[in-house]
Amino acid sequence: MSYTIEGNTGPWELVIGLEVHAQVTSQSKLFSGAATAFGAEPNSQVSFIDAGFPGMLPVINRECVAQAVRTGLGLNAEINLWSRFDRKNYFYADLPQGYQISQYAHPIVGTGQVEITLGDGSTKTVGITRLHLEQDAGKSLHDQHPTKSFIDLNRSGVALMEIVSEPDMRSPEEAGAYLTKLRQILRYLGTCDGNMDEGSMRADVNVSVRKAGEGYRTRCEVKNVNSVKFVMQAVEAEARRQIEVWESGGTVEQETRLFDTQRGVTRSMRSKEDAHDYRYFPEPDLPPLVLDKDWVEQLKASLPELPDVRRARYVAMGLTPYDAHVLTLEKETASFFETVAKGRDAKTAANWVTGDFFAALNRLKRDITDPPVTAENLGALLDLIADKTISGSLAKQVFEAMIETGKAPGVIVEERGLKQVTDTGAIEAAVADVLAKNADKVAEYRSGKDKLFGFFVGQTMKAMQGKGNPALVNEVVRKQLG
């Protein structure tokens, strides 16, 4: 059933589109050689071009263009071999030139699509309208001085990809799933780090509401939302506000709003500008951007394996769709799993990574980039189980010891004498001892109480401190009980 919000006049449908600003991963800015590293001293990464000095001419950064093309290819989108930069004119303190060099009528990437997976396992395709390149503005700091605003131009001129979706999403969940998937694709491609908390990826959320069967009503844009959770909350809050306006006899005005994360409401920021308000015209200091078809094909051939393809491969290896989904969410997790699973049983590797290993990460509040156990050592632990050096239950003890000591599993097994006992004589002696001590239960078992079999196996394993080979213990117990 489709998602609706119940108002006083019945159900309302949501119409959602996202404009995502993704900072391009590159060593220097879109039109200058200034550095792009996050967290540098304010105004320490600013060239004369970024500061808007008169007479400074922009020069396009080839790597930024390549990153935009790679992203377009990863979004199954059309790559425009001819595109053009335009000037978008507006005046703001952190925009020193008084205009932004952007793309408007002729973007570098045209229509594409992203497939999203929802909580119930269903999938949906969200259309991409376009992707264009533009330079970022600087940053205004209003909390450094009681009466003045400070300006940091480090971000000024950094390359951004603006990825505009079609208004295809109909619920907060769909908007969240789309943003999550888009971030995942960009991170796999290496074209944007997706660090929303650092502002290198942020979303403008366009929301409108309508009754079933209606055309589109007026939309509002909620600017600069910087987390998936806040995007979902902003959609819900803005939709409810608009429903209230329409149902009270008012009219929703097209405007730009901000999401107040503390109060969970949107607030008016300014009336929405239209394209003519920005007085777009072709950028006079840059020629049109013309791409070589062979170069685009080379970029296509060098793309990494994308999440959907990798997920399908994992399912083909015997993993459940859920495990395949979890393991491919982050590129680093997938790489970790690949190392653990290489040359080993994929399902066992997946169980250990998503089970004990993930539990340890959560418990220790560690990240996959700083794992408590290396992928190589976890793989070596699986080898010890596979060749019956240790049992599965002993492996869990060894794993905890690996976390505590940082040592390889083989070393821990040797040091602690944890090798599994496969000596039939030793197992036979242990079983005989257990049966002798529990003669009453042996009699019960022989009179038809089959359930006691597990008791004898458990007692033998306990007596052998978990080191008995489980299959052999079972076999010997069965034999001695007759």
481 to 127, 435, 438: CA distances (angstroms): 68, 8, 12
Q: Pick from 23, 144, 43: which is nearest to 96 by CA?
A: 43
Q: Which amino acid is at 268?
A: S
Please state, in angstroms and rounded to a whole number, the distance separating the CA atoms of residues 207 and 394.
55
H helix runs in 197-253, sequence order: 228-247
Report the length, in residues, of the chain: 482
Could you tell me the pTM of the whole model?
A: 0.84
Question: H or E element: which one contains 310?
Answer: helix 307-316
- Partners of 87 in beta bridges: 101, 281
Strand 255-260 and strand 159-165: pairing?
A: unpaired
**Dihedral angle at the C-alpha atoms of 176, 179, 184, 186, nearest 10 degrees?**
180
Write out the chain's pLDDT in tens, 482 residues. 689 999 999 999 999 999 999 999 999 999 999 999 998 999 999 999 999 999 999 999 999 999 999 999 999 999 999 999 999 998 888 899 999 999 999 999 999 999 999 988 889 999 999 999 999 999 999 889 999 999 999 999 999 999 999 999 999 999 999 999 999 999 999 999 999 988 899 999 999 999 999 999 999 999 999 999 999 999 999 999 999 999 999 999 999 999 999 999 999 987 766 767 889 999 999 999 999 999 999 999 999 999 999 999 999 999 999 999 999 999 999 999 999 999 999 999 999 999 999 999 999 999 999 999 999 999 999 999 898 888 788 899 899 999 999 999 988 888 877 776 666 777 788 878 888 888 787 777 777 777 778 888 788 778 777 777 777 777 777 888 77
DSSP string computed for 241-301: HHHHHHHTT--PPPEEEEEETTTTEEEEEEEPPPGGGGT-EE-TTS--EE--HHHHHHHHH
Q: Pick from 60, 44, 57, 71: which is nearest to 134 by CA?
A: 60
Question: CB burial class (10 A; 0-12, 13-18, 19+) of residue 294?
Answer: exposed
